Every structure is written in C-alpha cells, then in structure tokens.
Structure 1
Amino acid sequence: MKNLLFLLLLSAAVFGQGARESFYDMNAFSFTSPGAMKYGLYGFDNPALLATVTAPDLMVNWTTFKKKWDDVRRVGVYTASPGFGFAVNDQKVFNNKVTDYRVSFGGGSAAYGFGFGYGWSNGDRDVFGRSSLWTLGILSRPSQYFSIGSVMYIPEKAETEASIDAAYRPFGNEKVSLFADAVFRKNAPDDLSKWSAGIAVEALPGFRVTGRYFEKKAFTVGVQLELGAAGFSSQSYFNTNSDYAFNSYGIRLGAYDRNLAEQFQKPEGYLYLKMSSGVKYQRYRLFDNANTLKELLENLEHAKNDPAIGGVVINTVDFYTNKVMYWEIREKLKEVKAAGKKVIVYLERASLDLYRFATVADEIYMEPLGSMTMEGYILGRSYLKGTLEKLGIGYDEWRFFKYKSAAEGLSRESMSEADREQRQALVDDWYDEVKGEITQARNLTGEKYDELVNKKVFFTAQEALDNKLIDKIARWDSLDAAIRENDGYFVSTAGLKGNKAPKDNRWGVKPNVAVIYAIGACAMDEGINARSLVNFVNKAVKDDNVKAIVLRVDSPGGDALASDYISEALLKAKGKKPVIVSQGSVAASGGYWLSMYADTIIAAPATITGSIGVIGGWFYNKNLLQDAGITLDHVKKGDHADLGFGFTFPLINFPLAQRNMNENERKMMETMITGFYKDFVNKVAKGRNSTYDKIHEVAQGRVWTGTDGLGLGLIDQLGGLELAINIAADKAGLKKGDYNVIEMPDAPLLDFGMFMPSLISTQVINVPLLKDARFRAQHNGKPLMMLPLDLAPDTDFDALMPE
C-alpha cells in the first residue's frame, strides 16, 4: 500500500478539489535537476534548456509498478531539436487517464538561455487537477562549473509554482555533477517534497549513474547507457521508508551521445578524404565543397584520437595546392601515423609536389593508366621592357636596394645578378627539402633520387612501381573493395567522434582563439582588404572572450599603408593577449610588415619570407596615346599638378601618366623610398628585439625560405597553422579542447559570380602577369613593399579566399 501511495505522489498528484500536479510529479522521468545532466527533458522541465540542444533527439520513457512489466502506469515521449521541444505524457491511475501535451521554445547561447512553453491536457482533467499551463524558464551557465535555472509554472486554474535548480561540476566537465533544486508554491500540501539534491556520475563515456534524495526521505537511483545514436535508461524509485516502489525505463534515439561501446570497438573505420575540390582558407557557406586548411587539420586530429578509426584514405585526383599547404597536411598525417593509424594515398596523375605529399603514406596506390613527374624546381619570370616599348609605354624603375627586384620584369630584359642569386637559393632549398623527405619516406639514396629527376623525369604507373616510388597499381574501386573485404569501412568527416560528440561536456561559453586571414596583396580595398580587415582585428583585440589572436599571412606585400593598418591594430594587443603569426606560402615585404609585431612568428620550411625593402616605379606615356589617336589637354596651378595627369584605359582600368618625372621629382621619390626603408627596418628591429644593423644585413629586399629565416632570426619556429593556434592557446593559458577557434573575416554566403556570365575583360585582368602590372599602375609613383608574384608560382591568392 505504501508503494502505491508513493506512485500516486510521483505520477498522479494529490486528488481533491484544487489539487494539481507538482514540479516533481510533472518531471517524474527526470534523473536530476533540469540543468544538471544532458538536456533534461528537452524543454518539458525547463524550456530554456532548448538553447543548449544541438541536434534532433527523441526519448520515450515509461513506468512499471513494482516488477510487473505489463503494468505500465505512465508513458512520456519527449522530442526536441535546437530551439524547439514537444512532449506527450500519458498517465493512468485505476480507471482514470489523462494525456498532457507540451510545446516549448527556447533560445540563447551556451551561457544564457530563456524559453517558454504551453501545455494542455485531454482526458480526466478534473480528476488529475489539470488545466492549461504556461511555463517560463531561464538558464545561466556563467562558467564551466556552474549551472543555475529557474522555471515558473502558471496554470489556468491553480496556484503558480516556481522552481530553482543549481548544479556544480567540481572538475568542470561531465564526469561529476552535484545538484539541488527547490520548489515554491503557495498552499502546497505538507506531504509534497519541496526540495531534492543528488549527484550524477559519468564513470565511463556514455555510462552514467545518478542518485537523488527528496525532502520527504524518498530517493531514486538511475542508470543510463549510451551507445552513440541510441541509449537506454532505467531508474528505480524508493518511498519514504526506503522500500522499492517502481521503475521507469527509457529509450533514446537520434542525436549522437558518448558511446560506451567505443571503448571496446575495433579500429576498422577509414576516414575518407576527397581532395578534388582543393584547399582554401575559407569557403562560401553555400554551394562550395572545397576543403579548408583548418578543417582538414582538425579532422585529421579527430581521426588520430578516434578509437574507431584505423586509418585515413586520401583520394588525390585533381588535388592541387601550394607547397606549404601540402607540407602542413603532410606533417599532420605524420602524427596520424605515429598514433598507429594507417595512411593510404591514391594517385592518378602526380606532380613532384603532390608525390612528395603522397610519400607520407604507408601505401601509395596509382591508377593503372596514371603517371607522375619528378621534374625538379624552376623559378623564372617574364620581362616586359620590350613589350612596353613597342606599345609606347615608358617605365622608370626606382630601385635603391640590391635584392628588391619586384619591378625587374618591367624595366629589364633578363635577371639581375642579385635576383638570380636569391632565386637560385630558393630553388636549392626547395629541392633539398623535398629530396630529403622523399628519400627518407621511400628508402632511396640521394644519388638515386637525383638520377630519377635528371635522367628519368616521367613515370608511368608501372615504371613508378618498378622504381619503388609507389606500392600498388589499382583503380580506385579496387582500393575501396579491398578495404571493405578486410572488414573496413569508410567514414566521412561528419562521422568522426570529434565532430559528432555532444556539447554537454562543458557548460558556458568557451574562450576563443581568433584566426584572422590576411590573404593576397596588401591593399586597402582588394587583396587583404585592409580597410575592412582592420575592423575584424580591432574586434578581436577588444573582445574579452578572444584570449589569443593568430594572424595567417599569405601575401606578397603591396601598399605600405595597408600593411601598417593591420600591424598597428595588432600592436594594440601587445601585452594584453598573445599575437601569433602563421606565415603561409608567402609572407614577404609588406607581408612581413604584417608579421613583425607578433609575439611569435611561425613559418613553413618552404615559406617565402623576408624581402624587407621598398621599391617604386613610374608608368608614363611615350607615344601610345598619340599612336592611338588620343590627345590630352589641361590647365594647372602648381608646378607638379600635372604629375599624375593622364589617361585610364577602360575595361582593364589601367592608368597611364602623360609624362615622366623630372630629375628633381625623381630625387624627391628616392628620398621618400629610402626613408620608408629606414622606417621599415627600424620597425622590424623593434618587433624582433634586434638592431637596425642586424636587420639591414638580412634585408635590402632579400627573400628567404622559412628555413633560412629561422637561422637569421626573422621567424621563431618552423610549423604551420595548427602549431600557431596551439602556441597561441598555450600562451593564453588555455587547455587543449577547452577553447573554440573562430575565423575572421566572416565567410561570404555564396559566390554570386557563379550566376553571372564570364566577361572576356575580367578573364584577361585575372592573368597574374597583367594583374600584377595593373596593381603597380594603380599605385603608380607610390612606395611599395612588394615582391614579384612569380616568386610564388604555385599560389593563386584569389583562389585561397572567397571574395
């Protein structure tokens, strides 16, 4: 009889005029206070919790009296998706039955939530004291340790009831949660509990045990077993005399939860990466399937730590990126291998850079009709002096520093000795670096490698196999079948544990590390778009939740004003939060200016860095306008007012001054450029804690690889974007996994250009050589901190970022 009375209290409320279901009655299926574990009852107990729901989920619960499986007294169905919840509770006592419905809405963030719900009932409403009901809820999680919630229940025909709950996680994660709650209701019956307290322990991932004690000495003990997308639960209820009363059971389907079975799962999954869409820094949010560097590195990190993943399979058909990105991904794959995972790379047609990337694999497969080349490296450039003369365009190069060769292509017919020296050094470094990695990975001698490059060059699949450059010849479908025959299976990036894991392991808002991309020429309204980018830098500097900043630089330089805009904004963070620079394929000249104030500068071995120098030049009309039948006229006041006067060619937006500078004007420009250079060197010396003389010795426009830059003190460490993020977090005192990485600027929604017809003039302008010339013409007469674009022939800056 005592057991029956206890069941009535928890599931049917107190009968009689004015009686209604209490907080604990309504939430009889709860294992803890609403905010203490997972998502409670999906908004039924507190609608504010819907702000924390990240994926659709469904839970079905039922109670049985004593141990009679066929004596079901109550059934609850709870379903939720982000911001929305719906529940149905069916309850019967003897011959009376009532069905309650509740729809709930919630919003907010990981730190604060609010919500409301509306409930109604069908059946024996008067017997169970039911009426229409409004619920209002709030939730606060100011840190990873505390959760506080409150709900107000406003029934149509009974007293308002309010509850407050609090939970504390001593370790700041899901492992242990202590909780308590209290209910406030006017004229509440004396035999109703007004508070409860308890503990929830997740002893193993997906295995939870709960205990809850009520004011009237009743208590519950519960167990939850989660298996990923499904889960099972059971809770035993004991009355005020500690006698067993009844049990509830539950099944959950939908959202992924921590999986107890993963502890015993064989690592038979293979992460499948299709690289045909290339690699960018950011992509459009819609209709863009490209991989991003950050996501690739994160997914490989997840694969490394996922117990269900036994390896990574990479399909490189149509995969192309620059040397540095190849290297960064390759270095991450080394970590995956070191964790005991197998790496397989499939090749169809491979360049030397792609083959170097592939050699990280345990096994390299090649298409039977595939091929590869080992051609070595070359750096060359086109010279337009003769072309400009034939067109009737004059160009005056203002070069005052030995290695600053950015304008050679417009003023000379062949390389200067200084440019030849620095270019040969780059090529030598690239060749030696790739040679070292390939020979080590494929167990070749240095002599054999040189022989393959200098005497063979081209390889069919069979020749590559004969020379031990690959391991197997097979079509892609054969590789797919071989993995499946060995009980393996492919896993997409969405299927990785790290990507589908629930977010309830940490309360509150995580601190952020901001990754800011400065990609392309240093310009105010194109390239790095300094005029808008500086707003994101300032935002990151001022945002208290951004604990560290990583600036990823991939820029050949350009306008000093644009570079200074960003570097000065970053300087404001000095001493307030760490600023780390990650240099990509190119971070030279104005790109190095962007880097110089960082606490730490990271570069890849093949990064082109340095080029600390300033150059300028002047396009002017010789006879082009006359030959084209264009005449100009003007009035002026001021001896130099006509200096920039000229004609701008339509469609290509190429400005051409009417006259060259006179000797006096040119001397003034020389003074300006040399002054800029001294200022540049002084700023670098300040940023690098060095002296003017030491920086000048390695400056004068000289470009260096990242490897050389490390020895010269221009950078601090060899590495990529991931290392820069890890260093930034470490300097900010953030633990791994305890922060988010946010990206700036915001990625655009979609590429509207895909719906527009291509214009011939636009295609012509996008030819790198002409684009470089146009940029210089648009900055005619301005001191530029820029290196030739042809020094990074494998880097298309426009393709790395959505416009």
Structure 2
Amino acid sequence: MIPWNHLAVRAAVCASVALVTLPGVAAPPERASQPVPDPGRSIAGGGDASAIAVNPANLAFLPGAEARWMWVRPGSGSPIPTGGHSFSAAVPIAMVSTGLRLDLMDPPDAAPAPFDETWRWIRWGLAVRAGDALALGTTFGWGSSDALALDGHFSVTTGLTIRPFSFLSIAAIARDWNEPENRFGASIERSYDLGIASRPLGTRALEIGAEATYFERSREVVPRFTLGLDVPRVGRLRGDVSLRDLANGRAGVAAMAGLDINVSGLQLLGGGVFGDGYTRGGTGFYVGAALRSYREPGVPMLRRVAKIRIDGTPGARAHTRLLQRLWRLADAPEVDGVVLVLRAEPANSTAHSEEVGDALRMLRSRGKKVICHLEDAGGRSLHVCSQADAIAMNPAGGLRFAGVSTRYFYFGDLLRKLHVKADFVRIGAHKLAAEQFTLPQGTQVAREDHQELVDLLGGVLLHDVGGGRRIPKGELARRIARGPFLAREAKEAGLIDLLAYDDEIDEVVEEVMGGRSKIVEDSAPNEAPQRWGNVGKVAMVYVDGDMVDGETQNIPLLGIKLAGSYTVARALKRVREDSSVRAVVLRVETGGGSSLAADVMLREAILTARAKPVVVSMGSQAASGGYYVSVGGGPIYASRSTVTGSIGIYYGKVDVSGLLERLGVTVEGYRSAPRADAESFFRPYTDEEREILGVKVKQFYDTFVARVAEGRHLTPAQVDAVARGRVWTGAQAIERGLVDKLGGLREALAEARRRGGLPEDAPILSLPDDEDGLLDLVLKLAGVTAGVTANALGPAAAMPPALLDIARSLSPFLVFEPSRPLARIEVAEEASLGGRVTAPVEP
C-alpha cells in the first residue's frame, strides 16, 4: 500500500505536468487588480499576512498578529507591471482572522499603457476556519489612481482552502468575481485559481506547490510552481516560477527566489527577480520585513536563563501546565538554565512534587542549570528543589519543615453532643471514611493504616531529597528531625546552598552558571505550526475533585472542586468521536465520591478504550471511586506516593431528629409504605432497614470488585484480598497488580503518544473545558481567587486555617445526597511544617 505522503507527492507532480501541458496557454492579460507579488507564497500553503492578496482563506491560518512590508523591483525593462511596495497587517481572533493591505504600484518603464502609471489598492481581508482543516475567506479591494483607466475599481475575491492531511493542502480562488469596473465602465476579467501544495516530510521543512490561473473570457491559463525549504539556523528558502505565453511556442519565465531570515518575531526577506517574462532589461530584486507575534524556525535566540515565579500552589491543571513549561524549556536550545522563584509551595502533594522534581532532573539531563530561590518554604519546596543544581534562600526566611504529617478529623463526639446520629454501613475494617462521622477517634486499624501511609510518604521524600542533596537517608532523617529551620540553620544542615535576597538572584545565577547570563521571565513562544490540518493530538481528560452525579461544579469559598459525571462522560465521548485525537490520557486526581458517578465515568472510559488507546495517569489521589474509574482504560501509571486503592463502599445518613427535638422542632412524616422515608434525615433507620442496607452495600461492593477484576484481569478473590477499603501508595499498588508502571504524567503521555503513533511534540487537548461558575466569575471580578493556599489571599482567608480544614472535612455533608452509596477515601489534610497546602489555586 502506498503511503499517503507518497501519494501527495505524486499528485503534486501529476498536477504540475497537467498544468504545463494545457493547450492554448498564452500570455495572460494584465489587470489593474494585481498586487505587488509575494515571492514563493503558494495559494494552498500560505498562512501569513500576505494571504490578504494571495489567498484570503489562508488568512484564517495566521498564527499571530503580523505587520509586513514588501518592495519588488522587476527591472526597468520588464513588461510586467508588478513593481512597487505593499504594506499589510493582520490579526487572528479565535477562529476568525482579519487584515488590511495597501499596495502602491510603481510599474517599470517598459510596462504597457495604461499600466505605465502609478495606482493604489486598499484591501480588507476576512477569513474564518472550521477547525484546522478548512478555511473560507474573502478580500474586498478598492483601486484608485490619477489615471482614469486604473481608478474606481471595487473588487471581491473569495478563496477556499482544505487541508485534509498534515502533508496536503488544496485551494481554490475566484478572483475579481464581481468583475469590477473602472471610471470608463471597462471591467477586470474574472479568473479562477486552483492549486495544491505538498509537504512530503509531513512538516514545513519542505513544501512543493503547483497551481494555475484560468482567465474566464480569454480562456488563458498561467501555471505557477512554488518551493519552500527550511534552512536550519537561518530561515527559509523560497522560490516561484510562472510560465507565460506558451501558446506562441516560447515559454516566458517569470521567477523569484530568495531567503527569509527569521530572528524571533522579526523576518527579513530578500532575493532576485529574473526570467525573460519579468526582466527583459536586467535582473530585478525584492526586499521586505515583517514583525510578528509568532516565530518560525530561524536564527537561534540569544542564550538565556528563564525565570519562573510561583506565587500560589498549583492545582491539578496548573500543575500540568507547570510541567509542560519545564519540559518545553528542557527542549529549548536557547535556554541555558532555569530559575524557580518559589513564593508558595510548588506542589500540593508528594506525588505532584515527585513529578516536578522529575521535570527538574530532565532539565539537568539536557544540560540546563537549575536554581531555586526560596523565602518561607516548606517540605514540598525542599522535595522539588533538592533536584536542582543549587538552592538559595532569603536570609530572613526559613525552612518550616521537620517531617511529613497528615491530619484526620473525627466528628463523632461533636455530633453526639449535637444529638445528631451518623449511621453508616461499610465493607471492610479499612474503609475508614465513615469512621470520621461515627467515632470520636480513629480505631487501631485506622491508626496503623494512617501511620504506615505517612511513613511511606516520608520515605519517598527522604529518598529524593537525600539523593539530590547527596546526604545518606539516615543522616538526612536526623537532620530534618531538628527542624523547622531558620535560613542559616538550613544552610548549616546542608538543606540549602546559599543565602541571598531577592535582589541578589542575578548574582546567584552568575555564580551557578559560571558567568554573566541574561535572565528573562519565561513565556511560551507562539510558534508557527509545523503541520497542516487537524494534527493528531493527545487528549488529557481530567477527573479532578470529589466525584458527583451531574455537572462539574466548584465551591469556591472552600476551594472544593466537584468532578461531575455528566461533564467527564461528555468529555470522554467527545475525544472518542474526534478523529484528530489519536490517544487519551485519563488524568485521575480524586479520592472518589458517588459510586454511581464513578460507574458512569467508567463506562465512558471503557467505550473510549475500545475506540483508541487510553493510558491512565494517577496524580495525588486515585482512590476508591478514583481507582474505580481508572480500570476502564489501558495501562495505569502512578507515582510512588500516589494514594490509590481503597476499593470499598459505604452507605448511610445522619439523623438530625434528636437535634430538632432539642430545638423544639417537630417533624411529622407520612408515607405510603413502611420504607418510603428510610433515607430521610429526620428519623433513624429501623433494624430491618439497617439489615437491608447492609445487603445493598455488599451488592455495591461486589460490583466494584467485579469491575476491578475485569479491568485488571484478576479474579474477584484476588481483588478482594487487596480491597476492603485498604489504601495503598503507588509503590505498593504495583506490587499488588493494581497499577502497571511507576511513573508520572511525562511517562504516561509518552506511552499514549507511542500507542497513538504520534510524534513527541503532538499537541495536548485538555478536557473538560475548565469553565468558571457564576460565583467564581464574581469573585474574580472582585479580585479574589477561589482556591487559596495558606499564605494567599482569598475568600477563605478570613476563616482561620484550622476551621477551614474542618469545613472541608465536613464536605460530604455539603456535597452528597444521603441516598447515594459512596466510593470515597477518608478526608485527610496532608501537611508538613511550613508545607501546608490544602487549597491549591489554578492560576
């Protein structure tokens, strides 16, 4: 079978031969609407501001704002009146692009009348695209001149471009289709362009184009061929050639060739104009320049050190954006180093700090130096920055860290004093979530499980920090136990390297880099696309927050996010049906929630995995319902410190009838059957109802086990042996067959691209769309951030941190209906001295 890109090349060659051999090809009529030429620009392959005149449809593919100037001088003996200056400016706005162009035509001396006079054209282009494969555009033009024959024109030109593959583009244009008239009533002949362009290598590195213009009244055809070739570290070679007057037995050649030199957002153009069709009186030239908000491959940028400042702890999506920034910098040849200025914890969990630390190691493996500057730091900062080349700290700051800790709140006594009874049925002694509402303190099983978890998390931190700081694990544990530290004490303990104020960061960078370096704030460059059409993508679908039935929501005052089953299911269906999505990463960042919501999401994940490769990436937590939804895809990746497992169900309610009675409130209920109000908050369960509830919970649990057994290719007995609510870290889970590979998001994305046959730079489509609710928008307009960290301002900042933690621990009462069985892990506040990160932000 012939590959598509080979077919594209053959199609281009065949079209070229057909264009050359067309009978009756003669010298084309000159027309007043012709613009100043844009050398080497193909009607099918363009995508810059020159498209206003070349093909208005391609204006829709403009990557960013651009201003362009071109001067073409074909030589005094040229019979073709195409010399002069052009000025154009264009800007994309979402799926629409628009631009203006001014052509000042200055014909050569040999141009025939009436084209031996100067004239002007103003053009306005407007284009819209449907995705990345289809665009439609129209240019409106007004011509004026002191010569009446060239004055008074109003022209309309419309173009269509289709880019079905990354290596093939097809364009059709109707020029002057309204047959514009001058002051004498003479009209410009309508013409049609048809062209194709091929990128046989699949990228912009090489582009070949063939096109033809057909004049309607004279029935004359002018074939034209274009070539574009990237020159590494310089820019792009461009050329075009038109064949004229073929019917008279001689091929008049009109050609241009030159070089685009790209320096960041500046493009300089220059080349020659030649061929007997253009320059019978000597060779001409062209020069030009463009200023753009995007850049194309060209002259390498000046070497620099990129600075990233983190003022708020990243939430789930901001965390992945931070990782992508660091990965991009690792591949940027102009970047010598990276400075992380941390004014908040760079991660909200040990699992996230593992992934950021991995990104720092990747930077260093690519020859980049990495420096951290800390102020008032905690354990996450130490974990991440231990992978850097050097850590500096404000002399007045400190490292408020003495080890990892977790907190669990128990409300049993409080509810008893309020005469509120929490009544829950669960499967397994390790399904601890219900205990937080029924007991005054944790059971022995709970204490052992919680201590084991914190020891494992602490072990990961000691391993990574010890390796990065070159301190033996045992010695590091003894040093950390002496914390928290003032800046000087942290330096003496070998946990940081330097003391430096904020204004001394440049000196620190100079010392680490071994010389003066240019430090710039990091910002992602807007790159011109390498490929045409709907480029193959990796979709990253987030399951982030408590899993609830219905739509995704936020509780901004508490910094709680709810992952709605309908929202996630809709996102999975969308990527399943999107032909441009070749692989999916299901990013799970949840401790579970509604078991029905988890089952709805799982079903969509299973259907998606049947259609295209799915890879699961577990973040901070992928436990209980979060683990449930993870078993419907392909391989599961987890970090060593990911909290997962917790396979189990609990079900129940709180009875507030005692509280209402104390308050003097009487509730009278009526029912048509004995159990019609069994789930009411206003009466307790009967013994019979509690027994039936236990049967239902067992049925839900068996369903959970069956789903895991099917997804993990285990027997129900094997799953039950590691289930019953038991929580595992990622490192433990892989030993028990619950996880396939240890690795973070980087490894999961690489696996998804491999399975989808995608290149390493394949773009990422993040879903569901991260839309703010009405309250979020109101808070942002008021200058308030919904999610907050302990050291950030926000609506919850007025509430004492301890009360805020308690309020979040009570979130099940705020979020879940009493009639819903829950697959949810117990609410914990993973903390450390100075590293308390309970409400991440999404900057």
User: SS in structure 2 opposite 1:50?
Assistant: helix
Q: Distance in 2 between matches of 1:634 and 1:207?
A: 80
Query: What corresponds to 1:586 in structure 2?
Result: 621
**Distance change in 2, residues 1:483/1:352 (3 Å):** closer
Matched letter for residue 418 of structure 2 = L
User: SS in structure 2 opposite 1:170?
Assistant: coil
TM-score (ref. length: structure 1): 0.87
Which of 359, 384, 388 is residue 332 of structure 1 equivalent to?
A: 359
Which of 161, 165, 172 is residue 139 of structure 1 equivalent to?
A: 161
Which of 566, 569, 592 is residue 557 of structure 1 equivalent to?
A: 592
Displacement after TM superposition at 1:796 (Å): 7.2
Query: What corresponds to 1:517 in structure 2?
Result: 542
Which of 251, 256, 264 is residue 289 of structure 2 equivalent to?
A: 251
Query: What corresponds to 1:200 in structure 2?
Result: 228
Query: What corresponds to 1:183 in structure 2?
Result: 213
Q: How does 1:631-646 map to 2 (within 5 A)?
A: 631-645=666-680
Displacement after TM superposition at 1:532 (Å): 3.0
Query: What corresponds to 1:783 in structure 2?
Result: 821
User: SS in structure 2 opposite 1:43?
Assistant: helix
Q: Which runs of 5+ in 2 are unaligned?
A: 1-27, 110-115, 181-186, 244-250, 554-561, 785-793
Q: State whether structure 2 residue 694 is matched by structure 1 residue 670.
A: yes
Q: Distance in 2 between matches of 1:142 and 1:573?
A: 24
**Distance change in 2, residues 1:237/1:621 (3 Å):** closer
**Distance change in 2, residues 1:129/1:616 (3 Å):** closer
The Cα RMSD (Å) is 3.0
Query: What corresponds to 1:402 in structure 2?
Result: 429
Q: State whether structure 2 residue 511 is matched by structure 1 residue 477.
A: no
Displacement after TM superposition at 1:562 (Å): 0.9
Q: Distance in 2 between matches of 1:297 and 1:434?
A: 19
Displacement after TM superposition at 1:691 (Å): 0.9
Which of 88, 99, 104 is residue 125 of structure 2 equivalent to?
A: 104
Displacement after TM superposition at 1:367 (Å): 0.3
Matched letter for residue 513 of structure 1 = V
Q: Is the 8 A contact 1:342 1:362 kept in 2?
A: yes
C-alpha deviations, 1:552-592, integer Å up to 9, x for none? Answer: 21212121111111001111123211122221211111111
Query: What corresponds to 1:15 in structure 2?
Result: none
Deviates more, 1:616-625 or 1:563-572: 616-625
Q: Distance in 2 between matches of 1:206 and 1:52?
A: 23
Q: Distance in 1 between matches of 2:579 and 2:803?
A: 40
Query: What corresponds to 2:257 in structure 1?
Result: 221
**Distance change in 2, residues 1:531/1:111 (3 Å):** closer
**Distance change in 2, residues 1:639/1:145 (3 Å):** same
Q: State whether structure 2 residue 523 is matched by structure 1 residue 490.
A: no
Which of 623, 626, 633 is residue 661 of structure 2 equivalent to?
A: 626
Which of 296, 299, 302 is residue 328 of structure 2 equivalent to?
A: 302
**Distance change in 2, residues 1:748/1:392 (3 Å):** closer
User: SS in structure 2 opposite 1:574?
Assistant: helix
Q: Is the 8 A contact 1:609 1:709 kept in 2?
A: yes
Q: Distance in 1 between matches of 2:224 and 2:647?
A: 68
Matched letter for residue 586 of structure 1 = Q
Q: Distance in 2 between matches of 1:594 and 1:237?
A: 63
Q: How does 1:410-449 map to 2 (within 5 A)?
A: 410-449=437-476
TM-score (ref. length: structure 2): 0.84
User: SS in structure 2 opposite 1:704?
Assistant: strand
Q: Is the 8 A contact 1:556 1:787 kept in 2?
A: yes
Q: State whether structure 2 residue 197 is matched by structure 1 residue 167.
A: yes
Matched letter for residue 85 of structure 1 = G
Identity in percent:
23
**Distance change in 2, residues 1:73/1:686 (3 Å):** closer
Q: Which runs of 5+ in 1 are unaligned?
A: 1-17, 283-291, 646-655
Displacement after TM superposition at 1:161 (Å): 1.3
Query: What corresponds to 1:363 in structure 2?
Result: 390
User: SS in structure 2 opposite 1:378?
Assistant: strand
Displacement after TM superposition at 1:54 (Å): 2.1
Which of 42, 45, 62 is residue 51 of structure 2 equivalent to?
A: 42
Query: What corresponds to 1:653 in structure 2?
Result: none
Q: Distance in 2 between matches of 1:235 and 1:266?
A: 26
Q: Distance in 1 between matches of 2:805 and 2:486?
A: 32
**Distance change in 2, residues 1:480/1:638 (3 Å):** same
Query: What corresponds to 1:692 in structure 2?
Result: 716
Query: What corresponds to 1:5 in structure 2?
Result: none
Q: State whether structure 2 residue 368 is matched by structure 1 residue 341.
A: yes
Q: Distance in 1 between matches of 2:191 and 2:266?
A: 34
Displacement after TM superposition at 1:197 (Å): 1.7
Displacement after TM superposition at 1:198 (Å): 3.5
Which of 89, 108, 116 is residue 138 of structure 2 equivalent to?
A: 116
Q: How does 1:706-725 map to 2 (within 5 A)?
A: 706-725=730-749
Q: State whether structure 2 residue 287 is matched by structure 1 residue 232.
A: no
Matched letter for residue 503 of structure 2 = D
Q: State whether structure 2 residue 42 is matched by structure 1 residue 33.
A: yes
Displacement after TM superposition at 1:365 (Å): 0.4
Query: What corresponds to 2:752 in structure 1?
Result: 728
User: SS in structure 1 opposite 2:357?
Assistant: helix
Displacement after TM superposition at 1:195 (Å): 0.9
User: SS in structure 2 opposite 1:575?
Assistant: helix
Matched letter for residue 824 of structure 2 = M
Deviates more, 1:196-205 or 1:365-374: 196-205
Q: Is the 8 A contact 1:34 1:41 kept in 2?
A: no
C-alpha deviations, 1:161-208, integer Å up to 9, x for none? Answer: 111121111111111111111111134497xx7112242211325422
Query: What corresponds to 1:651 in structure 2?
Result: none
Matched letter for residue 344 of structure 1 = I
Q: Distance in 2 between matches of 1:178 and 1:399?
A: 67
**Distance change in 2, residues 1:381/1:524 (3 Å):** same
Q: Distance in 2 between matches of 1:782 and 1:252?
A: 61
Which of 693, 696, 702 is residue 726 of structure 2 equivalent to?
A: 702
User: SS in structure 1 opposite 2:171?
Assistant: strand
Matched letter for residue 716 of structure 2 = Y
C-alpha deviations, 1:422-476, integer Å up to 9, x for none? Answer: 212211211111111111111212332122133x212211122222221110101
Q: Distance in 2 between matches of 1:420 and 1:772?
A: 18
Query: What corresponds to 1:598 in structure 2?
Result: 633
**Distance change in 2, residues 1:608/1:350 (3 Å):** same
Q: Distance in 1 between matches of 2:314 and 2:677?
A: 47
Query: What corresponds to 2:643 in structure 1?
Result: 608
User: SS in structure 1 opposite 2:752?
Assistant: helix
Q: Distance in 1 between matches of 2:72 and 2:50?
A: 16
Displacement after TM superposition at 1:537 (Å): 2.1
Q: Distance in 2 between matches of 1:796 and 1:615?
A: 28
C-alpha deviations, 1:660-692, integer Å up to 9, x for none? Answer: 222221111111111211111111010001111
Q: Distance in 1 between matches of 2:453 and 2:74?
A: 80
Matched letter for residue 371 of structure 1 = G
Matched letter for residue 171 of structure 2 = G
Q: Is the 8 A contact 1:104 1:115 kept in 2?
A: yes
**Distance change in 2, residues 1:383/1:118 (3 Å):** closer
Which of 72, 80, 89 is residue 79 of structure 1 equivalent to?
A: 89
Q: Distance in 1 between matches of 2:771 and 2:654?
A: 36
Q: Is the 8 A contact 1:44 1:86 kept in 2?
A: no
**Distance change in 2, residues 1:374/1:636 (3 Å):** closer
**Distance change in 2, residues 1:634/1:169 (3 Å):** closer
C-alpha deviations, 1:258-279, integer Å up to 9, x for none? Answer: 35321xx553x11111111221
C-alpha deviations, 1:481-535, integer Å up to 9, x for none? Answer: 55479432233332x4xx32212x2111112322122122221145211133322
Q: Is the 8 A contact 2:121 2:144 kept in 1?
A: yes
Q: Distance in 1 between matches of 2:566 and 2:294?
A: 43
Q: State whether structure 2 residue 458 is matched by structure 1 residue 458.
A: no
Q: Distance in 1 between matches of 2:746 and 2:796?
A: 40
